[in-house]
Amino acid sequence: DAKTTQPNSMESNEEEPVHLPCNHSTISGTDYIHWYRQLPSQGPEYVIHGLTSNVNNRMASLAIAEDRKSSTLILHRATLRDAAVYYCILRGNSGGSNYKLTFGKGTLLTVNP
């Protein structure tokens, strides 16, 4: 499985933008880039996903490098509620096990008031 690399932790101030990086240099052409986050004492929740083009939704934006070897999750205005572990996950469209999520260690985001 293609692997992802994320910083262990990042810190932000409330109401400022946050850019969470993810490296995936061995990504294949059919791999989707997914982001999930896990708030304290909760199950993970979906944030966003993309393949090649940048994506926006109500929670965040996903910027994907042209060579797809890295991506950045952007929280436009961090709130205290955004403090969580953020996971960058690749899900391939080929092969037999594309249904499961393979979680790495993720990035622990701390938001300061």
Partner 1 sequence: GAGVSQSPSNKVTEKGKDVELRCDPISGHTALYWYRQSLGQGLEFLIYFQGNSAPDKSGLPSDRFSAERTGGSVSTLTIQRTQQEDSAVYLCASSRDRGVTDTQYFGPGTRLTVL
Interface positions with partner 1 (CB under 8 A): 32, 36, 42-46, 49, 87, 91-93, 97-105
Min CB(43)–partner 1 separation in Å: 3
Closer Cβ to partner 1, 13 or 30, answer by number: 30
Min CB(98)–partner 1 separation in Å: 5
Closer Cβ to partner 1, 66 or 94, answer by number: 94
Min CB(108)–partner 1 separation in Å: 12
Min CB(26)–partner 1 separation in Å: 17
As a whole number of angstroms, the distance between CA 5 and CA 83 comes to: 20
Closer Cβ to partner 1, 36 or 111, answer by number: 36
Closer Cβ to partner 1, 53 or 113, answer by number: 53
The DSSP-derived string for the chain is: ----B--SEEEEETTS-EEEEEE-TT--TTEEEEEEEE-TTS--EEEEEESSS-EE-SS-EEEE-TTSSEEEEEESS--GGG-EEEEEEEEESSSS-TTS------EEEEEE-
